[in-house]
Structure 1
Amino acid sequence: MLRQSVAEILVTTPGQGLHSCTDAVARWVAGTGIDTGLLTLLLRHTSASLLVQENAAPAAARDLERYFAKIAPESRSYEHDDEGPDDMPAHLRAALTAMSLSIPVAGGRMMLGTWQGIYLFEHRRAAHRRRIAVHLIGE
């Protein structure tokens, strides 16, 4: 019988960077009792994003962060700077990445690859409390 579960996961970030939320999502999936289905995650913010990324080599995260700092640098030249010089670059970085992810679930677990993890990519310098809406449909 098809079932659904919906919740929200709160992730507190200390500031810019990739912050793993794999374990929190995995715990929630396991707690639903749904064995097989499709997991959808939606980040409910416009200045951060969600990524499935390398989870074993910290250098991969550092390289990714440096890359985005180059292609969307902080600058006072942006028209939209309501919350400071990191405001518009955060929106640009979010636009270039993803706000939602879909991940298959089998055996009550996300079907991530061996070296994959789910990350909240915080694009703002200040600490934030980010909300991820999670929805799992399956049986």
Structure 2
Amino acid sequence: MHSELIEIRTGGEERVVDLTSPIDDFLRGAGGGDGLLNVWVPHATAGIAVIETGAGSDTDLLAALKDLLPADDRWRHRHGSPGHGRDHVLPAFIPPSTSVPVLGGKLALGTWQSVCLVDTNVDNSVRSVRLSFLQG
């Protein structure tokens, strides 16, 4: 198994960050081949999604999360920015990990799919993402 922790700067704003390019770099360094990639975000307020980016889907996802999990005073978890409690509920909807098949050293994604970090927590501007490649 090959594993690496990468750092992602979100800039302290709600973001969907496409991880596909850094994942491709990681897989090149892992020697290619076939296997399974696990992407894990070790944070209580972020998740990993496989979605289309660049055509508005990432913005639509953030808008849907604002509708579903509004940043208001309804949350019992109250430290941090106003409405921060919703960030702690996010991983129940956008899980903190995903696994993707790797074939010939490349992610076996569909045409429009990207692996993305979803982060609604404006209090943390730097995130860690653990990439683990189990070669078959």
> Normalised by the size of structure 1, how large is the TM-score?
0.90
Once the two structures are TM-superposed, the CA of residue 28 in structure 1 deviates from its matched residue by 0.2
The DSSP-based 3-state class of the residue aligned with 2:32 is coil
Contiguous gaps of at least 5 residues in structure 2: none
The Cα RMSD (Å) is: 1.3
1:31 partnered with 2:29: yes
1: CA distance, partners of 2:72 / 2:4: 37
2: CA distance, partners of 1:86 / 1:47: 12
1:71-125 Cα offsets, whole Å, 9 max, x none, are 1101123221111223211112222111011000011111011101111111112
- Structural mapping, 1:40-51, within 5 Å: 40-51=38-49
The DSSP-based 3-state class of the residue aligned with 1:124 is coil
In the alignment of these two chains, the number of paired residues is 135
Task: Report the more deviating stretch, 29-38 or 120-129.
Answer: 120-129
Contiguous gaps of at least 5 residues in structure 1: none
Q: Which aligned runs of 4 or more in structure 1 are off by greater than 4 angstroms? A: none
1: CA distance, partners of 2:124 / 2:84: 13
The DSSP-based 3-state class of the residue aligned with 1:52 is strand
> Normalised by the size of structure 2, how large is the TM-score?
0.92
1: CA distance, partners of 2:117 / 2:135: 25
Once the two structures are TM-superposed, the CA of residue 56 in structure 1 deviates from its matched residue by 4.1
